[in-house]
Amino acid sequence: MKPTLLILAAGIGSRYGGVKQMDKIGPSGESIIDYSVFDAIRAGFGKVVFVLNPKIESEFKEVYEARLAGKIETDYVLQKVDAVPTGVSVNNKRVKPWGTGHAVLVAKNAIKEPFAVINADDFYGDNAFNLISDFLTGLKTDSSKYAMVGYKLANTLSENGSVSRGICKTEKGFLTDVVERTSIKYDNDDIVFNENGKNEKIDANSIVSMNFWGFSPLYFKQLEHDFINFINNNSNELKAEFYIPSVVNDLIDKNKASIKMLTSNDQWFGVTYQEDKETTIKKVAELVSQGVYPENLWK
């Protein structure tokens, strides 16, 4: 059974100022998504499912249905505010969907095999896809043994502003906790994060989560349980978000799942800010010149 790749592509990108999922960064007009799908195909994935915002659905499908036809099976699901389990009520003034955990949950009917989860605007590198594919291949559909691909913090920062990262704690190769740190940035030769209004140093070699996970379909059942509890506690909130790491931490704490840490030494890069685009184009061009990717991915 080949694993499926779930790409979270529903964000609009308020800091970026546009639909960055489809922005052209490759020499033949490829987006970061194209490189992720290309790496997934090479690593043995059999299907890709896109989670989309309804506002970009038609535009997105127009590009990728033609581009990926005959190369990999594709499916699309929409992340809407009211896409919640039966019997759950939400504040009708809520505008934004409920975060990354909710984005995964809306894909539950489209995925029946072990799957990986990634962000649409993050460039993970081919090594990461090989690591997660090897883990997922042969994984039973009811297994509670999951995985995460982690990166060294220093390999994930933006030169153009601060970022938020989930700092990972591990024991004997397994994840024990993910602690969210905000406003991480360079401060001269140091890397710092903001804690209660003060900058605190953080180790450049800290392993961080870039939202690259490997799950079995059992995760959907666990996710829905936690999401219902979350909504019951936050139904009137207009901005509260339901994140993947919070669910993972809960599963670890209750001994309901294990998360194997797969560490990639690749340089992660992405387009958090508009200024990141030029850097990303240069890095992709370097990989093409090194022969890691062809000049035209889909030719």
Residue 83 lies in a domain: yes
What per-residue confidence (pLDDT) applies to 15? 46
Is residue 181 predicted with pLDDT exceeding 70? yes
Q: What does the pLDDT average to over 71-91?
A: 90
What per-residue confidence (pLDDT) applies to 27? 96
Query: What residues pair up with 258 in beta bridges, in sequence order?
Result: 145
b/e sequence 103-115, b meaning 16+ C-beta within 10 Å: bbbbbbebbebbb
Residue 296 lies in a domain: no
Residue at 38: amino acid letter: F
Give pTM, 2 decimals: 0.92
Residue 94 lies in a domain: yes
Confidence of residue 12 (pLDDT cuts 50, 70, 90): low
Is residue 13 predicted with pLDDT exceeding 60? no
Residue 150 lies in a domain: yes
Confidence of residue 16 (pLDDT cuts 50, 70, 90): very low
* pLDDT 10s digits, 260-279: 999 998 889 887 777 888 98
Calpha distance 208→236 (Å, rounded): 32
CB 22 within 8 A of CB 61: no
Q: Is 68 helix (H, G, I), strand (E, B) or coil?
A: helix
Residue at 172: amino acid letter: K
What per-residue confidence (pLDDT) applies to 93? 87
Token pair 């529903």 is at which residue?
10
Q: Are strands 73-78 and 198-201 parallel, antiparallel or unpaired?
A: unpaired
Q: Which CATH number does the domain housing residue 73 bear?
A: 3.90.550.10
Calpha distance 5→8 (Å, rounded): 10
Highest mean pLDDT among 6-20, 112-126, 151-165: 112-126
Residue 264 lies in a domain: yes
List Cβ neighbours of 199 (8 Å cut-off, separation of 6 or more).
Answer: 187, 192, 193
CB 112 within 8 A of CB 261: no
Q: What does the pLDDT average to over 96-101?
A: 90
Confidence of residue 62 (pLDDT cuts 50, 70, 90): very high
Calpha distance 122→197 (Å, rounded): 28
Residue 297 lies in a domain: no
Residue 295 lies in a domain: no
| Percent of residues, the chain, with pLDDT higher than 70 | 97
Its domain, for residue 33, covers 4-289
Q: Is 174 helix (H, G, I), strand (E, B) or coil?
A: strand
Q: How crowded is residue 187: how many other Cβ atoms within 10 Å of its Cβ?
A: 10
* pLDDT 10s digits, 208-263: 999 999 999 999 999 999 999 999 888 778 888 999 988 999 999 999 999 999 99
Residue 59 lies in a domain: yes
Question: How many domains, the chain?
Answer: 1
Task: Could you list the beta-strand ranges (E) of 79-129.
Answer: 115-119, 122-123
Confidence of residue 160 (pLDDT cuts 50, 70, 90): confident
CA distances from 205 to 50, 122, 266, 283 (A): 32, 20, 13, 21
Q: Is 226 helix (H, G, I), strand (E, B) or coil?
A: helix
Average pLDDT score over the chain:
91
